[in-house]
Amino acid sequence: MDALIGGRLRGPLMRSLLLGACLAPSMPTYAATAQQTTRAEELRERRLDKVEALRPPDPPGPFERLLGTVEAQMEPSSRSRSMLGIQPKLGGLKPGAGITGGIRFAPDFPAAAPFVVAEALGSVRRYWGIGTLAGYRWRSATLLAFSRFRHMPSERFFGFGPNSKRSDRSDFGLNEGVAGGLLEIALRTGLSVGGRASYVAHTPSAAGDDETRNAIDRFPGEVPSLQSGSRHLAFGGWIEYDGREPAAPTALFRYLARTESDIEGVPLATHRGIYALAEIVHYEDVGATRSSFSRVHLQSQQFVPFRRGHNVFVFREYLSLSNVGGSRVPLYMQPTLGGANTLRGYELFRFRDRH
């Protein structure tokens, strides 16, 4: 057998073995490269086959066409497709009313400036309401007159303040009528100011739900506003900025009429931007309940996207303060916390107080 003597390689067999050992490590690389090339060609062939096999989607069937027609009629932008301005409407009555439906009348006018809207709604919990709006838009200004009536047979009440008990839950009935007008001016994109004046009337009653206790019986003499109704003249103003993207859908009666200080819900479609509202309203008692008061209402939202907008952090702040002096705020006009829009994990209207 040949051997390596004096640092020199002797014999053709040894030289062949050494050359093979040097070339062996590179052989898997050539094999992998060939395999990758084959895989790339296979994927390319699949894409070409997919392009050649593309076909237009099947036309919608009768059930899909029916659903499309219903959806088009439900959309606010589809007013031109409604029958004589009449549209079906779902929701929009008030929190706690349950499943709600009704009709909306919003005819098209030859000019885009004036508008008239009327609604009639009812719910499975025997809530119902009617409302009308008549307005005129001129450039950046909106002038509006509105009226609304709501019948609420079973409103929840747990007591006042943070020490109220869930076991004290009781219900009361309430009729509410509002009529007034407002002027809103858009200063720039997303920023607006406005003022309003309205007449507000409330008439409480015993709850229409036999399954819960009546608040009048549960708190005898402790809540004077449940014993008699209240009448107020309300006037005030607001400044609002809405820079949410995309913009949040708005309920016409709640947004334009501004008859109550609801906490703005968080729109699920919005992925960036800021919303802010500052409002001050004075309620002058014109009845005999000694319940004149003023209220400052502040709220804001911030939408912070991350992971290229696939996820969003939403921060929200809300503040409502009432200046009563020697008066008191009626039970049904106090701000509340609880429910999906305000404080998740707690029942609707779980906490109620002046501030």
Domain-located, residue 173 = yes
In a domain, 213, yes or no: yes
Domain assignment present for residue 181? The answer is yes
**Residue 259, domain member (yes or no):** yes
pLDDT at 2: 44
CA distance 195 to 284: 16
Residue at 35 is within a domain = no
**Number of domains the chain contains:** 1
pTM of the model as a whole: 0.74
Q: Tell me: the pLDDT tens digits for 7-66?
A: 444 555 555 555 555 545 544 444 445 555 688 888 888 888 888 887 777 788 887 877
* Domain span including residue 256: 139-352
What are the CA-CA distances from residue 283 to residues 13, 51, 183 (Å)?
109, 68, 18
Query: Which CATH number is 218's domain given?
Result: 2.40.160.50
Q: Is there a domain that residue 265 lies in?
A: yes
Alpha helices in the chain (DSSP H): 12-23, 27-52, 62-74, 215-218, 252
For the segment 287-314, what is each residue's pLDDT rounded down to a tens digit? 877 889 999 999 999 999 988 778 999 9
Average pLDDT over residues 262-275: 86
- Residue 11 φ/ψ, nearest 5 degrees: 100, 140
Calpha distance 323→326 (Å, rounded): 9
> Looking at the domain assignment, is residue 228 inside a domain?
yes
Condensed to tens digits (0 to 9), the pLDDT of residues 111-144 reads 567 888 899 999 999 999 999 989 898 888 989 9
Report whether 152 contacts 176 (CB < 8 A): yes
> Which tens digit of pLDDT belongs to each residue from 240-257?
999 999 887 766 566 556
DSSP class of 58? P
Q: Which of 22-31, 42-51, 277-286, 330-339 has the lowest mean pLDDT?
A: 22-31
Task: Write down the pLDDT at residue 325.
Answer: 81
Q: Is residue 16 part of a domain?
A: no
Task: Tell me the C-alpha distance between 131 and 148, whole Å.
Answer: 4
217-237 pLDDT, tens digit per residue, is 888 777 888 888 899 999 999
